[in-house]
Amino acid sequence: MDAAEFRQRGKEMVDTVADYLENIQKRPVFPSVQPGYIRELVPESAPETAESWEDLVGDIERVVMPGVTHWHHPQFHAYFPTANSYAALCADMLSDAIGCIGFSWASSPACTELEMVMMDWLGKMLDLPQEFLFCSGGKGGGVIQGTASEATLVALLAARNQTIHREKEANPALTEADIMARMVGYCSDQAHSSVERAGLLGAVKIVKLSSDKKQSLRGETLAQAVQKDKEKGLIPFFVCGTLGTTPSCAFDNIEELGAVCNLEKIWLHIDAAYAGSAFICPEFRYLLSGVQFADSFNFNPHKWLRVTFDCSAMWIKDSSKLVDAFNVDPLYLKHDNQGKVPDYRHWQIPLGRRFRSLKLWFVLRLHGIKGLQEYIRQHVKLAHEFEALVLADERFEIVAEVVLGLVCFRLKGANDINEQLLQRINQDGRIHLVPSKIGNTYFLRFAVCAPYAESKDVQFAWTVLTELATELLKEKK
Ligand SMILES: Cc1ncc(COP(=O)(O)O)c(C=O)c1O
């Protein structure tokens, strides 16, 4: 494809994308294909000679679309949202075209510098403590990671490195292996599986602590675990607090956890993957209370802030701890301005990195803080509308407090009736939900996800749900 053809095909592709998003509600939200379906639709090997654009584009509907789960469909209520906007789509196109790999400042100065400014803009929107921002002139700053899982792993590895140095200084006879074998990190029993996985990848033990009745990890629970582990000769080194847990959008008590961490010199990382976007609204910022104690903080604009995947925003108070942990400096990556600006390769696991800050720049400028706040508020309002419908029907109950855009609910009674209800909902195919469990209680999660979610979508979901629940309950009688 040459530039002339790209001008034409590119414009056609923009139309294809706009048509897809504008008419998404006409498609089934969840596909009905079986595993392996694509093998039967595409040849076994790549074509020897070039094919035509028309043949390729024709295959989008035939091959791809039948197997797509439409995450931006108004009847998609599973997991947490994944963000989308025309602004971010345009920015990604430009990022792909520039196609620079911003591992160091010199590898493409704009890539590093725009990211630094965007992370400061975003940090200010959340009212993060100054120490997390580049503009404070200290050691803090932000970086765009691919995912919240990577951010947790990066934080854990930096904490591990800091602890190994500290222990070796106190006792030079110790080996790294001796120290690592005694290191222990903590999270709540509601934390995302990526925290446990970070422990596995970092070869250190992670202990899941019991959360309270509101699924919140409390300071006292952490303090007791730390005390017990220290008595056993272990070295507590890392805590991951969650703001907006995956099962029920619960909030750990960061004020309490932070006080323990600071006293015990334990690294505190905050995972606010979904909920973090809401902190751009002053009325939700109380949930962030205690962030001043954290060493690192992360949330995913690619979940709820209109920035397409991938864009996971991470801040750290002392970036030298990342650089110390991940610094290898071969000659071919060195440059004259080293040390004056961050070389983001030291802040992450891969070497290569895309120009992702363009997406933030486009979205923040084209939507504005007010536009994004309205977006968050609309989703939260719709979640409360759904909550009211659940509460008004005495057959159902709410399982966890509705704080943001997630409603956890169930039919009163046994788990199996709720399992059957979910099965029927997803077989019916008009709406798509996933379940979760707290302790032994199985429930359904209703997440407000679609970019243009409206009251009528909530009402529609409730109509489908109650129709299927009524049928099920009648059969059971
Ligand atoms: C609280 C929390 N942490 C981490 C993750 C994982 O996010 P990512 O896919 O960005 O690693 C999720 C995903 O939903 C989440 O809810």
Q: How close is the Cα of 148 to the center of ligand 1, in Å? A: 5
Q: How far is CA 425 from CA 99, 395, 396, 431, 434, in A?
A: 43, 17, 15, 7, 10
Closest by alpha carbon to 303, among 445, 194, 147, 188?
Answer: 147
- Residues lining ligand 1, CB < 6 A? 80, 147-149, 192, 194, 242, 244-246, 271, 273-274, 300, 312
Tell me: do 155 and 299 sit in the same domain: yes
Using the atom order of ligand 1, give the atom closest to the CA of residue 300.
10
Domain endpoint, select from 306, 324, 354: 354
For a mutational test of ligand 1's pocket, the pick from 190, 192, 254, 403, i.e. the residue with the most ligand atoms closer than 8 A to its C-beta, is: 192
Tell me: do 247 and 191 sit in the same domain: yes
- Whether residue 347 lies inside any domain: the answer is yes
- Whether residue 62 lies inside any domain: the answer is no
- Whether residue 38 lies inside any domain: the answer is no
Tell me: do 413 and 327 sit in the same domain: no
Using the atom order of ligand 1, give the atom closest to the CA of residue 272.
1
Closest by alpha carbon to 447, among 99, 72, 119, 127?
Answer: 72
Question: What is the rounded CA–CA span in Å between residue 163 and residue 379?
Answer: 41
- Whether residue 241 lies inside any domain: the answer is yes
Domain with 465 in it = 369-476
Q: How close is the Cα of 80 to the center of ligand 1, in Å? A: 9
- Whether residue 410 lies inside any domain: the answer is yes
Protein residue whose Cα sits closest to atom 7 of ligand 1: 148
Using the atom order of ligand 1, give the atom closest to the CA of residue 191.
1
User: Taking the chain, what is the end-to-end CA distance rounded to the nearest angstrom?
Assistant: 64
Q: How close is the Cα of 167 to the center of ligand 1, in Å? A: 32
Tell me: do 274 and 156 sit in the same domain: yes
Residue 331 is predicted with a pLDDT of 67
Q: How close is the Cα of 13 to the center of ligand 1, in Å? A: 31
Walk along the chain (477 residues) in steps of 10 and give the mean pLDDT of each run.
Answer: 95 97 96 94 96 95 96 96 97 96 90 97 98 95 97 96 93 92 97 96 96 96 98 97 97 98 97 98 97 98 97 96 76 73 89 96 98 98 98 97 98 96 94 95 97 96 97 91
Residue 188 is predicted with a pLDDT of 97
CB 293 within 8 A of CB 254: yes
| CATH code of the domain covering residue 382 | 3.90.1150.10
**Number of folded domains in the chain?**
2
Residue 324 is predicted with a pLDDT of 78
Tell me: do 209 and 317 sit in the same domain: yes
For a mutational test of ligand 1's pocket, the pick from 80, 145, 149, i.e. the residue with the most ligand atoms closer than 8 A to its C-beta, is: 149
Tell me: do 275 and 232 sit in the same domain: yes
Question: What is the rounded CA–CA span in Å between residue 326 and residue 346?
Answer: 5
Protein residue whose Cα sits closest to atom 16 of ligand 1: 246
Domain endpoint, select from 354, 389, 416: 354
Tell me: do 250 and 347 sit in the same domain: yes
| CATH code of the domain covering residue 118 | 3.40.640.10
Tell me: do 267 and 398 sit in the same domain: no
Tell me: do 284 and 323 sit in the same domain: yes
Judge residue 417's burial from the number of C-beta atoms within 10 Å of its C-beta, 0-12 exposed, 13-18 middle, 19 or more buried.
middle
Residue 338 is predicted with a pLDDT of 76
Domain endpoint, select from 305, 328, 354: 354
- Whether residue 82 lies inside any domain: the answer is no
Q: How close is the Cα of 429 to the center of ligand 1, in Å? A: 26
- Whether residue 158 lies inside any domain: the answer is yes
Global pTM reads 0.95
- Whether residue 302 lies inside any domain: the answer is yes
Closest by alpha carbon to 107, among 419, 343, 379?
Answer: 343
Strand partners, 442: 437
Tell me: do 347 and 387 sit in the same domain: no
Q: How close is the Cα of 147 to the center of ligand 1, in Å? A: 7
Tell me: do 236 and 171 sit in the same domain: yes
Q: How close is the Cα of 279 to the center of ligand 1, in Å? A: 17
Protein residue whose Cα sits closest to atom 9 of ligand 1: 147
Q: How close is the Cα of 463 to the center of ligand 1, in Å? A: 30
Q: How close is the Cα of 170 to the center of ligand 1, in Å? A: 36
Tell me: do 316 and 374 sit in the same domain: no
For a mutational test of ligand 1's pocket, the pick from 150, 194, 240, i.e. the residue with the most ligand atoms closer than 8 A to its C-beta, is: 194
